[in-house]
């Protein structure tokens, strides 16, 4: 089943007098439970593509579907609701709300969704355990390390059980150990919960863990390959388990 599909996406930006091409007729299909890596040099269009997929930005032309939903046809409020309910985001710079504790940050999305307090509490504690932050629930972001903050961000992204997680350079500010722990966490969550991950990165450590790697240059997809050596995505893992 297709988790997300893009057809002929085009996006340009105006920088002073110059028109910069962000996306140049990008077409892509990502299946459910895949872990996909978007790579490419800076300015190649990775983040632009992620933003378009997540409804944070609108393409100039083309079509985006998340599941059955035409993202490019939604208005601002509907896109906000889609992000709230269908997509989890992990950003480069942790991006936690500094005045909330780790647990409150995780519960934030559920609070906006209107999930009852008791259920929110249960789920956030469970997910904190899942990402290895048990006991740190009352700490504010400033009291956590970079790796711990990114784990909180991941927990926040997946706690409301989205079908898709979009991660933009999630390891950029992490040391090697934390980066590997984070990508292993992604793969574990993919295997356990069947969440589709699209990770924009130019971190080779991350790339080596993804079965499918899409390379972008100047707003175009120039390469889309399956890597045999990478750990299995959830669908493949399940298929093997069943045989």
Partner 1 sequence: MQNADQIRTNALPPLGTLMTLAWRNLWRNHRRTAIMLAAISVGVWAMIFMSALMRGMVDDMLKRGIDQLPGHVQIHNPQFLDDPSIVHSLPEPDSAMQDALNQAAVSKWFSRVKVPAMISSERESRGVMLLGIDPEAERETILNGVELTQGRFLESAGDRGVVLGEKLVQRLETRLGKRVVITSQDPQNNLAEIGLRVIGIYQAELRSQEEQFLFISKQAAQKLLNIEDQVSEVAVFGDDYRDIARVSQHVTAATESWNSRLPAKVEANPWQTINGFLSSSVTVMDGFVLIWIIVVFIALSFGLANTLVMAVFERVREIGLMLALGMRPALVTWQILLESVFLLLLGLLLGNILAVLSIYALADGIDLSGVAQGFEMVGVGNTLVPQLWIKDLLTANAVVILLGLTTSMLPAWRAANYDPVRALSKAT
What is the smallest separation between the CB atom of 162 and partner 1, expressed in angstroms? 10
Strand order across the beta sheet in which 196-200 lies: 87-90, 164-168, 196-200, 35-39, 212-217, 220-226
Q: Taking the complex as a whole, how short is the minimal distance between the CB of residue 55 and partner 1, in angstroms?
A: 9
Q: 107 Cβ partners below 8 Å, 6+ apart?
A: 120, 121, 124, 159
Q: Shortest gap between Cβ of 108 and partner 1 (angstroms)?
A: 7
Distance CA 48, CA 113 (A): 26
Based on CB atoms, which residue is closest to partner 1, 17 or 68? 68
Q: Is the CB of 21 or the CB of 56 nearer to partner 1?
A: 56
CA 160 to chain centre: 14
Return the number of the residue (12 or 208) whose C-beta is nearest partner 1. Answer: 12
Q: Which is nearer to partner 1, 100 or 172 (CB)?
A: 100
- Min dist CB 152 to partner 1, Å, is 13
What residues line the site for partner 1 (CB under 8 A)? 51, 54, 56-57, 65, 67-70, 73-78, 80-87, 89, 91, 93, 95, 97-100, 104, 108-109, 111-114, 156
């Amino acid at each position: 089943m297709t988790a997300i599909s893009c057809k002929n996406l085009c996006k340009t930006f105006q920088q002073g007098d110059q028109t910069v091409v962000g996306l140049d007729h990008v077409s892509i299909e990502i299946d459910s439970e895949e872990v996909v890596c978007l790579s490419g040099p800076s300015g190649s269009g990775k983040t632009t593509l992620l933003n378009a997929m997540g409804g944070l930005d609108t393409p100039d032309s083309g079509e985006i579907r998340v599941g059955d939903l035409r993202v490019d046809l939604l208005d601002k409020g509907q896109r906000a609701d889609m992000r709230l309910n269908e997509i989890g985001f992990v950003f480069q710079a942790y991006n936690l709300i500094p005045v909330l504790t780790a647990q409150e940050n995780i519960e934030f999305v559920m609070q906006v969704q209107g999930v009852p307090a008791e259920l929110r509490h249960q789920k956030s504690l469970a997910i904190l355990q899942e990402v290895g932050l048990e006991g740190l629930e009352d700490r504010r972001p400033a009291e956590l390390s970079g790796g711990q903050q990114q784990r909180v961000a991941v927990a926040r992204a997946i706690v409301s059980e989205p079908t898709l997680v979009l991660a933009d350079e999630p390891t950029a500010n992490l040391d090697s150990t934390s980066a590997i722990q984070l990508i292993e966490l992604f793969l574990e969550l993919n295997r356990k919960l069947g969440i589709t991950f699209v990770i924009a990165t130019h971190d080779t450590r991350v790339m080596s863990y993804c079965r499918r790697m899409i390379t972008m240059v100047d707003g175009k997809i120039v390469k889309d390959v399956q890597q045999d050596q990478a750990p299995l995505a959830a669908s493949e893992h399940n298929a093997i388990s069943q045989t």
